[in-house]
């Protein structure tokens, strides 16, 4: 009995101490929660403002991307019209057709490329390169195609960018065509020159077709040296394969004309040696 009473007295003596420890622990926990809530309340407006700014930036960037894509599509469509206009060229209407093509190209620059320049000038336009690159490539293709058909020379990147400078605001960083898009547009040019060469051979302009053949061959040779050094060269690798096919088609067409030239005879009623029919016998009246 005495032993039990002693145990009970020891338990009652230690109980106030445990209650004090529990109360102190609860008080410290409450203090921590209060401090945490105060800190979170102070940070919340700053984080909200920051994320609001991020959302506005992304929304503006997406809106600008949509406008840039629309401008790029318009440039692509109207540049193709310029290329189709050049393909209407023959030895009889070369001057008239090229003048019309140059006017159409100037209209593309003033109406559509200028809209793209206004969207991208003064900004980090590399972020949106994928959005406008197809249109710029088509524009380069049309401009270089017109220049070759008129002068027989290659329109260089610096010359194209000079035509874009008046479209830029002098107080802002100018939007310029980069080397990658220029080379990709130049690769597409060889396909149009292949179609032009085949058409010239059909019209008997073999000398012009041979000039195109040499020009396309030179472009392909130079790009084979540049393409492996390009950072983003997946598109260029694909276009190099197509370019090789274009070169081979022009060479085969010119070779066939030279080898089988004896089979071509002038058209009846004309003395023009460049006009011919293939394998058609003379008709006796």
147 and 66 share one domain = yes
Burial class (CB in 10 A: 0-12, 13-18, 19+), 20: exposed
* CATH code for position 201: 1.20.58.200
Contacts of 274 (CB under 8 A, 6+ apart): 203, 204, 205, 206
* Residue 44 confidence (pLDDT): 75
88 and 141 share one domain = yes
Listed residues 126, 144, 165: the one ending a domain: 165
Q: Kindly tell me if the per-residue pLDDT of 196 is higher than 70.
A: yes
Listed residues 140, 165, 190: the one ending a domain: 165
Residue 78 within any structural domain of the chain? yes
pLDDT digits (tens, 9 = 90+) for 6-61: 544 544 445 455 545 544 555 455 544 545 544 555 567 778 878 888 888 888 88
60-68 LR contacts (CB < 8 Å, sep 24+): 61/127, 64/119, 64/128, 65/128, 65/131, 67/119, 68/116, 68/119, 68/120, 68/128, 68/131, 68/132
Confidence of residue 278 (pLDDT cuts 50, 70, 90): very low
144 and 76 share one domain = yes
Confidence of residue 282 (pLDDT cuts 50, 70, 90): very low
* Residue 246 confidence (pLDDT): 93
64 and 149 share one domain = yes
* Residue 266 confidence (pLDDT): 54
Q: Helix crossing, 2-87 with 94-108: angle to 10°? A: 150
pLDDT digits (tens, 9 = 90+) for 52-88: 888 888 888 888 889 999 999 999 999 999 999 999 9
Residue 245 within any structural domain of the chain? yes
Supply the mean pLDDT for the chain. Answer: 80
CB atoms within 10 A of CB 139: 28
* Residue 263 confidence (pLDDT): 60
Confidence of residue 276 (pLDDT cuts 50, 70, 90): very low
Listed residues 165, 187, 209: the one ending a domain: 165
Distance CA 119, CA 116 (A): 5
Count of domains in the chain? 2
Share of the chain above pLDDT 90, in %: 46
pLDDT digits (tens, 9 = 90+) for 186-195: 999 999 999 9
Choose from 61-70, 147-156, 273-282 the range with maximum mean pLDDT.
Answer: 147-156
Residue 254 within any structural domain of the chain? yes
> CA Rg, the chain, in Å?
37
Give the domain extent around 99: 51-165
Whole-model pTM: value is 0.75
Asked if 112 contacts 142 with a C-beta cutoff of 8 angstroms, the reply is no
């Amino acid at each position: 009995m005495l032993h039990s009473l002693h145990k009970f007295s020891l338990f009652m003596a230690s109980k106030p101490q445990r209650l004090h420890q529990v109360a102190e622990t609860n008080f410290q926990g409450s203090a921590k929660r209060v401090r945490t809530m105060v800190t979170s309340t102070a940070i919340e407006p700053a984080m909200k403002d920051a994320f609001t700014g991020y959302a506005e930036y992304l929304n503006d960037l997406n809106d600008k991307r949509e406008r840039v894509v629309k401008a790029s599509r318009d440039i692509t469509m109207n540049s193709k019209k310029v290329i189709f206009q050049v393909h209407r060229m023959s030895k009889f209407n070369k001057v008239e057709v090229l003048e019309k093509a140059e006017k159409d190209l100037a209209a593309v620059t003033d109406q559509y490329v200028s809209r793209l320049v206004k969207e991208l000038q003064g900004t980090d336009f590399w972020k949106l390169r994928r959005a406008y690159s197809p249109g710029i490539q088509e524009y380069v293709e049309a401009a270089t195609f017109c220049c070759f058909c008129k002068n027989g020379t290659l329109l260089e990147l610096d010359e194209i960018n000079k035509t874009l400078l008046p479209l830029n605001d002098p107080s802002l960083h100018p939007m310029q065509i980069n080397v990658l898009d220029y080379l990709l547009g130049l690769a597409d040019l060889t396909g149009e020159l292949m179609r032009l060469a085949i058409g010239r051979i059909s019209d008997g302009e073999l000398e012009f077709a041979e000039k195109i053949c040499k020009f396309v061959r030179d472009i392909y040779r130079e790009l084979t040296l540049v393409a492996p050094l390009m950072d983003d060269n997946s598109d260029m690798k694909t276009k190099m394969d197509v370019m090789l096919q274009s070169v081979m088609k022009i060479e085969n067409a010119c070779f066939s004309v030279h080898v089988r030239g004896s089979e071509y005879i002038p058209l009846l009623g004309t003395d023009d040696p460049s006009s011919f029919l293939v394998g058609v016998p003379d008709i006796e009246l």
